[in-house]
């Protein structure tokens, strides 16, 4: 509510108070200083009268002070705007670099995860190859033991084969001797018959007397011939058995030779597996080196981010310094205006 009885002195006090505070005594500012009382037309009339009473010199001083204050305010606003633009540019640049850094970090993280997965797969394959190598090595050892056992059996079979061969040769010699004895007996019988035939006419009586004895002798000889034939048949059977034993031994030797060929193939495959394992070990070492390089690049990116944060802090410090300079300029303007206001007050009192 506007109060009644607003005086010119009240308006002058409100204006002087605003000038002492370094504020421009505008119509609204004076009314606010009066407590939002009085009509604007009355306040405007009293302000015009007071400006007229102050005179030209004071008016020029006020204009210069207001111009300096306005210049200072524009400079402060321009400095603040430039600093804000620089800070915004720096913040945008830092944000862009941070996003690029985050993207690079994400790529490095993904690549590291990919390398880690590849390393795990390689290690798993290496462990599988190692297990397969161990299994092959154990199989090779078993095959070596089997080979040694088969070699011993082969040696024994060869010895038995040699013994059988010697026995066969002995049987053949016995068979030859028996055949020679039989031939010799047949020849002797033939010669005896020839002699008997030649003496037949001369010794008919003696032949008839000796007929029984000759028949008995023939029976005995036939028994011997039968025994010799049986011995020959037995020798032939032994020879057939010996030949079968030799054939069985040769079959076993061929099977052993096949197993030896298989063992050589297993040894070659083991050598190939060892070469593959060595290649996998080299690949694992290469992956470890690449992982170390990625860790180093990550550290460099982290250092770059810290450097950007330092630059941002420096920009903020420069902005604070510019704000301090602007505040100092405002304080200097206020100090310059204060003596002018005091002088103006003195002139009014006079």
Q: How many CB atoms lie within 10 A of CB 110?
A: 10
pTM exceeds cut of 0.85: no
Instruction: Indicate the angle between helix axes 211-349 and 40-54, nearest 10 degrees.
Output: 70
Mean pLDDT, range 26-34, rounded to an integer: 87
pLDDT score at 286: 80
d(CA 69, CA 66): 5
**Dihedral of the CA atoms 23, 26, 32, 38 (nearest 10)?**
150
Q: Considering only residues 245 and 173, tell me which one the structure prediction assigns the higher pLDDT.
A: 173
Mean pLDDT, range 241-256, rounded to an integer: 74
Report the candidate in 46, 65, 16, 99 with the shortest Cα–Cα distance to residue 346: 16
Residue 105 has pLDDT above 80, yes or no: yes
Q: Considering only residues 221 and 150, tell me which one the structure prediction assigns the higher pLDDT.
A: 150
Report the candidate in 34, 100, 50 with the shortest Cα–Cα distance to residue 347: 50
57 neighbors 33 (Cβ within 8 angstroms)? no
Mean pLDDT, range 340-348, rounded to an integer: 58
Q: Considering only residues 64 and 89, tell me which one the structure prediction assigns the higher pLDDT.
A: 89
53 neighbors 348 (Cβ within 8 angstroms)? yes
Task: Using a pLDDT cut of 70, give the percent of the chain over it.
Answer: 81
Mean pLDDT, range 308-316, rounded to an integer: 75
**What's 3's DSSP letter?**
P
Residue 124 has pLDDT above 50, yes or no: yes
pLDDT score at 23: 84
d(CA 277, CA 130): 8
187 neighbors 155 (Cβ within 8 angstroms)? no
Instruction: Spell out the domain ranges in the chain.
Output: 134-327
Mean pLDDT, range 178-204, rounded to an integer: 80
Arithmetic mean of pLDDT over the chain: 77
162 sits in the region (left: phi over 0; alpha: psi -120 to 50; else beta) called alpha
Q: Where are the alpha helices (DSSP H) in the chain?
A: 8-20, 27-33, 40-54, 56-198, 204-209, 211-349
pLDDT category at 71 given cuts 50, 70, 90 is: low
Task: Output the CA angle 107-110-111, nearest 5 degrees.
Answer: 85
d(CA 332, CA 339): 12
HSE-CB of 277 using CA atoms within 13 angstroms: 15
């Amino acid at each position: 509510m506007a109060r009644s009885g607003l005086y010119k002195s009240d308006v002058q006090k409100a204006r002087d108070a605003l000038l002492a505070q370094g504020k421009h005594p505008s119509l609204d500012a004076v009314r606010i200083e009066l407590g939002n009382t009085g009509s604007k037309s009355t306040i405007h009339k009293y302000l015009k009268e007071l400006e007229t009473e102050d005179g030209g010199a004071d008016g020029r001083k006020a204009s210069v002070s207001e111009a300096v204050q306005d210049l200072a305010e524009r400079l402060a606003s321009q400095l603040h705007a430039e600093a804000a633009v620089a800070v915004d540019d720096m913040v945008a640049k830092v944000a862009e670099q941070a996003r690029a850094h985050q993207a690079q970090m994400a790529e490095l993280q993904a690549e590291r995860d990919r390398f880690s997965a590849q390393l795990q797969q390689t290690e798993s394959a290496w462990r599988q190859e190692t297990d397969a190598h161990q299994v092959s090595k154990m199989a090779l050892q078993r095959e070596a033991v089997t080979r040694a056992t088969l070699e011993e059996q082969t040696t024994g079979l060869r010895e038995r084969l040699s013994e059988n061969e010697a026995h066969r040769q002995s049987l053949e010699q016995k068979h030859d001797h028996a055949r020679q004895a039989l031939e010799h007996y047949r020849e002797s019988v033939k010669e005896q018959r020839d002699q008997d035939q030649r003496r037949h006419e001369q010794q008919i009586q003696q032949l008839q007397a000796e007929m029984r004895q000759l028949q008995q002798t023939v029976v005995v000889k036939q028994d011997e011939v039968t025994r010799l034939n049986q011995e020959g048949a037995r020798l032939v059977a032994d020879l057939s058995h010996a030949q079968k034993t030799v054939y069985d031994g040769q079959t076993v030797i061929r099977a052993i030779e096949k197993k030896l060929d298989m063992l050589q193939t297993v040894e070659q495959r083991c050598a190939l597996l060892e070469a593959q394992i060595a290649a996998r070990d080299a690949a694992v070492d290469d992956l470890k080196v690449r992982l170390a390089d990625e860790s180093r690049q990550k550290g460099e990116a982290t250092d770059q981010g810290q450097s950007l944060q330092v630059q941002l802090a420096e920009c903020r410090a420069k902005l604070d310094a510019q704000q301090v300079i602007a505040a100092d300029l405002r304080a200097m303007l206020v100090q310059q205006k204060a003596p002018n206001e005091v002088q103006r007050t003195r002139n009014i009192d006079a």
